[in-house]
Amino acid sequence: MVTLVEEDVTPVYDDYGDGDEKLLPEDEEITYADSGEALVVRRTLSVTMGDDKLWLRHNIFHTKCTSGGKVCNVIIDGGSCENVVSNTMVEKLGLSTEDHPQPYKLSWFKRGSEVKVSKRCLVKFSIGKKYSDEAWCDVVPMDACHMLLVRPWQFDRMAALDGFENTYAFQIDGVAITLGPSDLRKATKTELLSRA
């Protein structure tokens, strides 16, 4: 064992603050969901009320985008392998589809049956004023949302999830974007009906 003696060494600590401040750069703002006339109306099961951030702990990332002039519900979830768009959204917005280059079957996506995925669609969308994008999505019958962005979108955008704040941060065309989740507790009754 060797002991080294250093003179007048002052420890240096990282300054993380008390945890209340945001981890975003000063010039960056969070982009939240679009608002406006929703694409379709469906039921909502329940919404929990509360004033703290604990609601983020058990909620996946919900937001809204604008596509074809209509506001659509979006979920971003890293647990799935393919971006998907609901056949309802494709039909209502008149989006063009093409044959899927590698058709496949899903057995977990819609209650009661196996779903054959044979079409895909390039969906153009925007969230807020700064973020416009497009994504290839497989067309499926889906009840959870209009569009589900998953690993391919996250990978292509190099999007980083902040698990505590439930935000996604990335850069597109040199512009820093941070997407914030929709707070279902603050949604109006009309928004809740359109979300279901």
In 3D space, the residue among 71, 74, 82, 194 whose CA is nearest the CA of residue 140 turns out to be 82
User: Tokens 């809204």 belong to which residue?
Assistant: 64
Backbone phi, psi, residue 38, to 5°: -80, 155
In 3D space, the residue among 80, 58, 52 whose CA is nearest the CA of residue 145 turns out to be 80
Backbone phi, psi, residue 153, to 5°: -65, -45
Radius of gyration of the chain (CA): 21
Read off the DSSP letter of residue 38. Answer: B
The answer to whether residues 151 and 78 touch, using CB atoms and an 8 Å cutoff, is yes
Query: Would you list the domain boundaries of the chain?
Result: 30-195
* Per-residue confidence (pLDDT) for residue 49, from 0 to 100: 45
* Per-residue confidence (pLDDT) for residue 29, from 0 to 100: 81
pLDDT tens column, 170-180: 999 999 999 99
The answer to whether residues 8 and 154 touch, using CB atoms and an 8 Å cutoff, is no
pLDDT tens column, 43-98: 444 444 445 777 788 788 999 999 999 999 999 987 888 999 999 999 999 999 99
Output the CA torsion 134→150→64→108 (10° steps).
Answer: 120
* Per-residue confidence (pLDDT) for residue 108, from 0 to 100: 66
pLDDT tens column, 129-167: 999 999 999 999 988 899 999 999 999 999 999 988 999
Angle CA 67–38–150, to nearest 5:
55
pTM for the full model?
0.69
Taking the C-alpha atoms of residue 100 and residue 140, their distance in angstroms, rounded to an integer, is: 12
* Per-residue confidence (pLDDT) for residue 33, from 0 to 100: 75
Residue 141, classed as helix, strand or coil, is coil
Q: State the architecture of 30-195 in CATH terms.
A: Beta Barrel (2.40)
Where does the pLDDT of residue 109 fall: very low under 50, low under 70, confident under 90, or very high at 90 and above?
low
Taking the C-alpha atoms of residue 159 and residue 76, their distance in angstroms, rounded to an integer, is: 11
The answer to whether residues 60 and 98 touch, using CB atoms and an 8 Å cutoff, is no
Tokens of 126: 């925007």
* Per-residue confidence (pLDDT) for residue 95, from 0 to 100: 96
Where does the pLDDT of residue 111 fall: very low under 50, low under 70, confident under 90, or very high at 90 and above?
low
